[in-house]
Amino acid sequence: MSRRSEIQPSPVTSVHFHSDCGTELGAFVNNPYLHDLTILCGNQAFFAHTDILRARCETLHNMFNQSPTNVMEIETDPAVILHLLKYLYTDRFPDISVPAEVIELLRLAKQLALQDLIINLKLRFHDVIRDRDSADRRSPQRDSETFEGEGESDSFTITRQTKQYVEPFLTASRFDGKVTVVVGQYKFRRQSAVLLAARSTWFAEHIDSVDGTVDASFIPVMQVALLLRFLRMEGYETIESFSMAMETMHWSWVMGAHSLQSWVEHVVVTRYLNCTNVCQIWSSPSCSEYLSERCMQFFQDNFMDCATSSGFLNLRPELMKAALNGGHIDADTISMMAALRRWAHINAAHPNESEQVLSTLLPPNTMFNMINRMTILGVNRRPITMY
C-alpha cells in the first residue's frame, strides 16, 4: 500500500495565484527599449513607457489624453524621478533616506494623487515631514499646500481630478497600447508593447515598436486569448480540465511567460497531480525543475499505483533512473521488479536487451545488479561450502 493517499482534485473551479508583475516590469525602469516618453530633469533624461504610467496613475492617464506628448520636463531632483519611476513600475515603496528627497517625492506624489505612496511616506518619515510643515508655517511667503499650487511651479500642471473623470479609466482595461497581435483571421488590438515584452520572452524578441504588429498564428487562438488576458492582468481563466492545463503550460513555456507557467504549475500540483497523470506531467518538455521535483516525490511515494497508469511505460529512462536513485521507493521488491521488467521490455531496443536496460537503471548496490555483473563476468555462483 502507498504511504500517501492519492491527491484528490480540488473542488475550486478557479485558482488565483499571485504573479509578480512588478519584478518583471522593474527591468524596464529607465530602459530605452520600447520607450515612448522621455522625462527631462535638469541635465538628465529618463526613459519611460506611457502604457505603464497610464495604468498606474489616473492623473497621468488623463494628462496624456488631454495633451499627448513624447517629452515631459519636471523640475526636481533626478534621484526623486528615479524613485517615482521605480514605484510606478514595481509597486514597491522606494528605499529612500535623504530628507530632502522624501519631501520632494511626497510633493510629486500629492500632485499625482498616488495615495498609497503618500500614506507610506507619511508613516515612515513622520518626523521629517512634521519638521518641514513646522518650517513652512513659520514662513510668511509659503502658501497653504494644495495640489494646484504645487503644480504651478512645474513645467506641467496637474489639477484635481473629478470622480466622473476617473471612473471611465477605472472600468477600462488597466493596460492599453497600440500593438496588434495577429492569430490567423483574428486580431487582438490595443496591446501594450512594454507589458507583453516584460512578461513574455517571445514577445520581447518579436516586438520591435510600440505600435507594430506581431504574428502569433502558430499558437491556438484560445491560448493566445488566455495568455494576453493573463499578461494584461485582467484576471485568470478557469482551467477546466487536465488537458487544458497541460496545453496552457506548454504554450506559456513556449512563449516564455514565466508567471503564467508558474500559475498553471500551481493548478497542476493542487488539482491534477495523481497516479494517473503524474508520468505524463513529468515527461512533458515544459515540466520545470520545481514541478519535476514534485512529480518525482509523488512517484516515489506511490510507485505501485503509478505503475498501473498508461504513462508509466512511456516514462523517459532518465526520469525512471532519477526516481530509483533519488530516494526510497514505497513498494515491495518483488512487485517493483515486476513493474520495472515490464517497463524495460517496452523501452529496450530488442527484447533480449531488457535485462541490460534494467541494469543501467538500478543503483549498483542492488542484489539484481550484483548478480547481473557476476553473470556478465562469468563468475560461477556455486554455494559456499563450509569446511
Q: pLDDT, tens digit, for every residue of 260-272?
A: 888 889 889 989 9
pTM: 0.63
In this predicted structure, the answer to whether residue 154 has a pLDDT above a threshold of 80 is: no
Confidence class of residue 371 from pLDDT cuts 50, 70 and 90?
low
- The answer to which of 264-268, 343-347, 363-367 has the lowest mean pLDDT is 363-367
* Three-state SS letters, the chain: CCCCCCCCCCCCCCCCCCCCHHHHHHCCCCCCCCCCEEEEECCEEEEECHHHHHHHCHHHHHHHHHCCCCEEECCCCHHHHHHHHHHHHHCCCCCCCCHHHHHHHHHHHHHCCCHHHHHHHHHHCHHHHHHHHHHHHHCCCCCCCCHHHHHCCCCCCCCCCCHHHHHHHHHCCCCCCCEEEEECCEEEEEECHHHHHHHCHHHHHHCCCCCCEEECCCCCHHHHHHHHHHHCCCCCCCCCCHHHHHHHHHHHHHCCCHHHHHHHHHHHHHHHCCCCCHHHHHHCCCCCHHHHHHHHHHHHHCHHHHHCCCCHHHCCHHHHHHHHHCCCCCCCHHHHHHHHHHHHHHHCCCHHHHHHHHHHHCCCCCHHHHHHHHHHHCCCCCCCCCC
Average pLDDT, the chain: 76
pLDDT of the residue at 377: 45
pLDDT of the residue at 347: 79
Q: pLDDT tens digits for 5-24?
A: 333 333 332 333 334 677 78
pLDDT of the residue at 170: 36
pLDDT of the residue at 165: 36
Confidence class of residue 156 from pLDDT cuts 50, 70 and 90?
very low
pLDDT of the residue at 235: 56
In this predicted structure, the answer to whether residue 159 has a pLDDT above a threshold of 60 is: no
pLDDT of the residue at 247: 93
In this predicted structure, the answer to whether residue 251 has a pLDDT above a threshold of 90 is: yes
Cell, residue 245: 492545463
Mean pLDDT of 311-337: 83
Confidence class of residue 341 from pLDDT cuts 50, 70 and 90?
confident
Cα–Cα distance measured from residue 14 to residue 339, given in angstroms and rounded to the nearest whole number: 37
Confidence class of residue 144 from pLDDT cuts 50, 70 and 90?
very low
- The answer to which of 25-29, 101-105, 159-163 has the lowest mean pLDDT is 159-163
In this predicted structure, the answer to whether residue 149 has a pLDDT above a threshold of 70 is: no
CATH architecture label of 21-171: 2-Layer Sandwich (3.30)
Confidence class of residue 236 from pLDDT cuts 50, 70 and 90?
low
pLDDT of the residue at 194: 84
Mean pLDDT of 323-333: 77
- ∠ CA 200-205-216, nearest 5°, is 70
What are the distances in angstroms from CA 215 to CA 81, 183, 203?
36, 6, 10
Mean pLDDT of 78-87: 91
pLDDT of the residue at 135: 57
Cα–Cα distance measured from residue 312 to residue 272, given in angstroms and rounded to the nearest whole number: 16
pLDDT of the residue at 122: 84
pLDDT of the residue at 16: 33
In the chain, where the domains are located: 1-17+246-387, 21-171
User: Which percentage of the chain shows pLDDT scores above 90?
Assistant: 17
pLDDT of the residue at 252: 92
Q: pLDDT tens digits for 188-228?
A: 988 888 888 888 999 989 988 888 899 999 999 988 988 88
